[in-house]
Amino acid sequence: MKTYSVGVIGATGMVGQRFISLLEGHPWFQIKLLAASARSAGKPYGEAAAGRWAMPGPMPETVRDLVIMDAAADAGKIAAEVDFVFCAVDMPKDQTRELEERYAKLECPVISNNSANRSAPDVPMIIPEINSAHSGVIPYQRKRLGTKRGFIAVKSNCSIQSYVPALHPLWDLGIRNVLVCTYQAISGAGKTFETWPEMADNVVPFISGEEEKSEREPMKVWGELRDGAIVEARDLNITAQCIRVPVSDGHMAAVFAGFERMIPLDEIKKRWADFQSEAQRLNLPSAPKRFLHYFEEENRPQVRLDRDLEKGMAVSVGRLRPDTQYDIKFVSISHNTVRGAAGGGILMAELLCAQGYL
Ligand code: NAP
C-alpha cells in the first residue's frame, strides 16, 4: 500500500491532538505538517500545545519540533506539500466552509470533522460501516468545484455516532420513530476538567446546535445517492435531547425506537453480533474487528469501562428490552474524540484510499 503525506489543520485543539496521537505509527498516513490559527503559527508544536495536551499518552516526539503553519495564510504551501488534510477547527461556520473549499480548490482533499459543509448535498458524510457507497457523490462535487483531485468529505456529529450504528442493522424493519437522550462528555466541547471546572459535580441541559444535528444528520447518513446528490431519508422521525455530563470522554445515548415490523429481541442481538461491513471486509487499518459489542450485564456498557473498546473504534450496546410506548429501548456508547471525531475521520480516509478517491 502507498503511504500518504498528511496535514492536520486545527492541530492544537482537542480533535487535532487526537489525530496526532492516533496517526503515530499509522501504516498508510504520515504527518508532514501541522496548522492552526495565526495565534499558534510560527511556534514549535511542543511549545504551542504545552499545557493543552489532553491525550492519555505523551505527545509524540515526531511532532514536538514541527513549526505550526497558519491554516489560512499558508494554504497554498500546505496544499502543495501534502496528499490531503484532516481538518478540525473551531471557527465561524462561513469561514470554515470557505477554508475547506479553498483547500479542495487547491486540489488538496479535505477530511473534515467540522459541521460547516455537512448539509451540502454533494459532500458525502460517511460512517464507513454504514454508507461507504456515498463516496460515489465525489465526482459530482469535483465537477461543481472545478477540481480534478480536490474534494471535501465530512465526518458526522459525534452524538449520532453513539446511536445510529446500533439502529443501522435494524433498518429493514422499518424504523418509524426514535427518541434519544444523549449524555455527552466535556471533551466534545474541546474541554477538560482543568479548562472547564464548572462541569465538576454538574449537568448542563443544553449543547448549542446539538439537538438539531442529532435529529437531522442520521437522515443524510441513511440517505441515497441519486442524480449527483445525497437525498436524505424521509420516512423516520427522530427527537433528541442532548445533555452535557461530567465525564472526560465518551458519549452515551439512551434510545427508544418504534418499527413497522418487530422481531424477537434475541434476533436483534444476533443482528448486532453478526454485523459486518465494507470497513471490515476491506480490512482497513483502523476498522474495529467487530463494530457493535452487546453487553448482557445490566450495568453495562459504562463510559469508563467501555469507551476504549477496540481502541475506541467500536460501539458498545446494552440493556435491550421491550418498551411500553415504543417497541424497544437500549443504551449505547461511543468514544467521542476517537470514533466520533479523529478516529472516524481516519477510518473514512482509509476507506477513500481503498476506493481510489485519495
Ligand atoms: P478546540 O479544542 O477548541 O480546537 C480548535 C482548533 O481550531 C485549534 O487548533 C485552533 O487553533 C483552531 N482554530 C481556531 N481558529 C482558527 C483559525 N481562524 N484558523 C485556523 N485554525 C483555527 O476544538 P475541537 O473540540 O478540537 O473541535 C474542532 C472541530 O471538530 C469543531 O468543528 C468541532 O465541532 C468538531 N468536533 C469536535 C468533536 C469533539 O469531540 N471534540 C467531535 C466531533 C467534531 P489555535 O490553538 O491556534 O487557536
**Whether 136 and 165 share a structural domain:** no
Looking at the structure of the chain, the number of domains it has is 2
DSSP notation for 111-132: EE--STTTT-TTS-B--HHHHG
Average pLDDT, integer, range 254-274: 97
16 Cα nearest atom in ligand 1: 26
The Å distance, Cα 91 to ligand 1 centre, comes to 7
3 state SS of 296: coil
Given a cut of 80, is residue 1 above it in pLDDT? Answer: no
pLDDT at residue number 92: 97
The Å distance, Cα 89 to ligand 1 centre, comes to 3
Average pLDDT, integer, range 299-306: 98
| Overall size of the chain counted in residues | 358
Confidence of residue 300 (pLDDT cuts 50, 70, 90): very high
Which residue has a Cα nearest atom 41 of ligand 1?
188
Given a cut of 80, is residue 193 above it in pLDDT? Answer: yes
For residues 127 and 113, what is the distance between their CA atoms, to the nearest angstrom? Answer: 12
Average pLDDT, integer, range 188-199: 96
**Whether 80 and 20 share a structural domain:** yes
**Whether 150 and 229 share a structural domain:** no
Given a cut of 90, is residue 341 above it in pLDDT? Answer: yes
The set of protein residues with a Cβ atom below 6 angstroms from ligand 1 is 10-16, 36-37, 39-40, 71-72, 88-91, 113-115, 158, 187-188, 190, 336-337, 340-341
pLDDT at residue number 251: 98
Segment 220-254, tens digit of pLDDT:
999 999 999 999 999 899 999 999 999 999 999 99
The number of CA neighbours under 13 Å toward the Cβ of 274 is 8
**Whether 153 and 195 share a structural domain:** no
**Whether 125 and 10 share a structural domain:** yes
**Whether 350 and 318 share a structural domain:** no
What percent of the residues of the chain are helix, what percent strand, and what percent coil, each to the nearest 5? 35, 25, 40
CATH of residue 133's domain is 3.40.50.720
Segment 5-62, tens digit of pLDDT:
999 999 999 999 999 999 999 999 999 999 999 999 999 999 999 889 999 999 999 9
Which residue has a Cα nearest atom 30 of ligand 1?
88
**Whether 109 and 188 share a structural domain:** no
**Whether 48 and 116 share a structural domain:** yes
Segment 141-177, tens digit of pLDDT:
999 999 999 999 999 999 999 999 999 999 999 999 9
**Whether 148 and 206 share a structural domain:** no
**Whether 203 and 148 share a structural domain:** no
**Whether 36 and 69 share a structural domain:** yes
Which residue in 133, 106, 138 sits closest to 122, CA to CA? 138
The Å distance, Cα 20 to ligand 1 centre, comes to 14
Given a cut of 80, is residue 319 above it in pLDDT? Answer: yes
CATH of residue 286's domain is 3.30.360.10
pLDDT at residue number 235: 82
Q: Determine the structural domain holding residue 306 and report its residue range.
A: 159-334
- Who's near 345: CB < 8 A, 6+ residues apart? 19, 86, 88, 111, 112, 113, 155
Given a cut of 90, is residue 278 above it in pLDDT? Answer: yes
**Whether 102 and 151 share a structural domain:** yes
Given a cut of 90, is residue 2 above it in pLDDT? Answer: no
Q: At 261, which amino acid appears?
A: R
Mean residue pLDDT of the chain comes to 97
Average pLDDT, integer, range 321-347: 97
Does the predicted model carry a pTM greater than 0.75?
yes
List residues with catalytic annotation.
158, 251
